[in-house]
Amino acid sequence: MVKLANPLYTEWILEAIQKIKKQKQRPSEERICHAVSTSHGLDKKTVSEQLELSVQDGSVLKVTNKGLASYKDPDNPGRFSSVKPGTFPKSAKGSRGSCNDLRNVDWNKLLRRAIEGLEEPNGSSLKNIEKYLRSQSDLTSTTNNPAFQQRLRLGAKRAVNNGRLLKDGPQYRVNYGSLDGKGAPQYPSAFPSSLPPVSLLPHEKDQPRADPIPICSFCLGTKESNREKKPEELLSCADCGSSGHPSCLKFCPELTTNVKALRWQCIECKTCSACRVQGRNADNMLFCDSCDRGFHMECCDPPLSRMPKDTEIKINIKQESADVNVIGNKDVVTEEDLDVFKQAQELSWEKIECESGVEDCGRYPSVIEFGKYEIQTWYSSPYPQEYARLPKLYLCEFCLKYMKSKNILLRHSKKCGWFHPPANEIYRRKDLSVFEEKLCQQKYNVSCIMIMPQHQRQGFGRFLIDFSYLLSRREGQAGSPEKPLSDLGRLSYLAYWKSVILEYLYHHHERHISIKAISRATGMCPHDIATTLQHLHMIDKRDGRFVIIRREKLILSHMEKLKTCSRANELDPDSLRWTPILISNAAVSEEEREAEKEAERLMEQASCWEKEEQEILSTRANSRQSPAKVQSK
């Protein structure tokens, strides 16, 4: 004789489970025993024994997760509290035979009998199942029991957990793929429309198939005899050939039909249908309930961060009528809700703007905090909307990470491990350092120069330009900035080129000055030198030839300005710690070839400038000396 749980103790156990869950704790065996013994003075050993008996007769559900056992109430929370304490135990004690009758009832057969008798295409609700069973005359003794409704719900849940029933929302239907091993339901026309149609993917077409193994890998049966000793066709893997009965695989008839039309793979050979990679992140692979294809969570659109809990198959159905009943739909957002949300959003932004005192200036973000400086922006930046719309954006001055608040920035600064750019330091003088970022194959000595607003007008722009040409001189080749230059970049570089050429001409008084010599001494590209000479009006065309004109007044005026206003952050070549990388067979750019040709042409035409200058000076001297001689006479 099977020992049964005491209904009174079962009720106490269920009350303890509800109490523990209200305290946001896991209803373990130890907590349940402690709660029952504290509330009712029952021995913990007796409570533990009654708990196991309640699990055996289905009054309590036992769930194991990660090696830890938890106990649950099979009905909704509060169901047992709504029953008066004296009624249920009393009826249970007074009707021991009826309780025995319910415990001996095969709920799976009753549920299947009701669902098949109702013949509802989309499944039957539990309420309709209960009505159908109560209308059966041979089940009067069972349905008249006070605990019939409770045990029916419990039996339905256990049938779903065991795979005997399929639940789609509130509807239940029989899972013919795993119940009796049948290949098709009794009313097959109801189910093909429940799953979407499937077809071969482009990469699955014209693929070879392995020879099928005519033995089921699970029950070791054949297509003539499955686990239930009934004939059933086998499904074979297209890659390895291993086979299995749909009932052993727990495939429903619709899924079996879809799988037969596809290139099916077993669990060992399963490949992601999106990235077509096998074995990568096998634990994060999802299986489609409609075609049994595998997909990595990160390959889904949009990517998933965790496994979905439900097994619902969602089908997009074209809406045929405009009149849609939205009652009971939890995902419907009405226009009134949308208006309230927009009003709340506008009020929140107004409050933020009033507190910050920053007006809407059309730039997002309007202010950034960078180190100890607050900088008003000139342009809008493509930050995410939640950051761009903030009145002030906080940036880490080392790793440039952007944050929403000062507190987040302070916490980040304690963990940020960056204290200099991620490169090699090649120059240091006092508190000024320069780091080398990369080597340019196009021979550009600088790619981009940016001076933060709080450091502008302090000579850092000229310092960086001069430093780039210092590297070019160390390499022994001419350098040039990356083209095209911006408007501000063109002005900065042109001012630098003018000053360098004027200072070179001031310190060199040779009779023959070539553009190549200027290029070797300054590191400037010959093309840039020729362009600068044109801006200085020091090149003229005479008799079809280009002549370089030395403008002494311009050179002297520049040197006088330089003496009165000394430059800040002057470059010290001795502080450079850098060795150039020699590149053999370096390709010469088209720009450099054109510059060399133009330089050679200017060199040939510039050799006569000194002769013409001497002739001009001699004629002026003769014109001045002649009247002096007349006066002396």
Query: What is the structure's pLDDT at 554?
Result: 92
**Which residue among the candidates 346, 482, 560, 613 is catalytic per the annotation?**
482
| Other Cβ atoms closer than 10 A to 364 | 19
**Do residues 260 and 228 touch, judged by C-beta distance below 8 A?**
no
What is the per-residue pLDDT for 195?
57
Residue 51: count other Cβ atoms within 10 Å of its Cβ.
24
Predicted local distance difference test score (pLDDT) of residue 409 = 94
pLDDT value, residue 315: 47
Specify the pLDDT at position 80: 37
**Average pLDDT for consecutive 10-residue bins of the chain (633 residues)?**
74 88 84 88 88 85 81 60 38 42 76 85 86 85 84 84 80 66 39 57 75 83 85 86 86 84 82 76 74 83 72 46 44 76 81 55 82 88 86 91 93 89 86 79 74 88 92 88 86 93 89 83 91 88 77 91 87 89 52 63 58 65 46 33
482 is catalytic: yes
Which pLDDT value is given to residue 317?
A: 40
If you write DSSP's letter for every residue of 226-249 in order, what string do you get? -TTSS--PPEE-TTT--EE-TTTT
How far is residue 17 from each of residues 29, 32, 35, 63, 356, measured CA to CA in Å?
10, 6, 9, 13, 51
Residue 411: predicted pLDDT: 93
Side chain identity at residue 15, one-letter code: E
| Beta strand ranges found along 422-521 (DSSP E) | 424-429, 432-436, 444-446, 480-481
Question: Token pair of 532, please?
Answer: 């600068």
End-to-end CA, the chain: 159
Contact 306, 299 (CB under 8 A): no
Which domains are seen in the chain, by residue range?
7-94 (1.10.10.10), 100-175 (1.10.10.10), 367-415 (3.30.60.60), 464-615 (1.10.10.10)
Sequential DSSP letters for 191-225: SGGGS------GGGTT---PPPPSSBTTT--BTTB
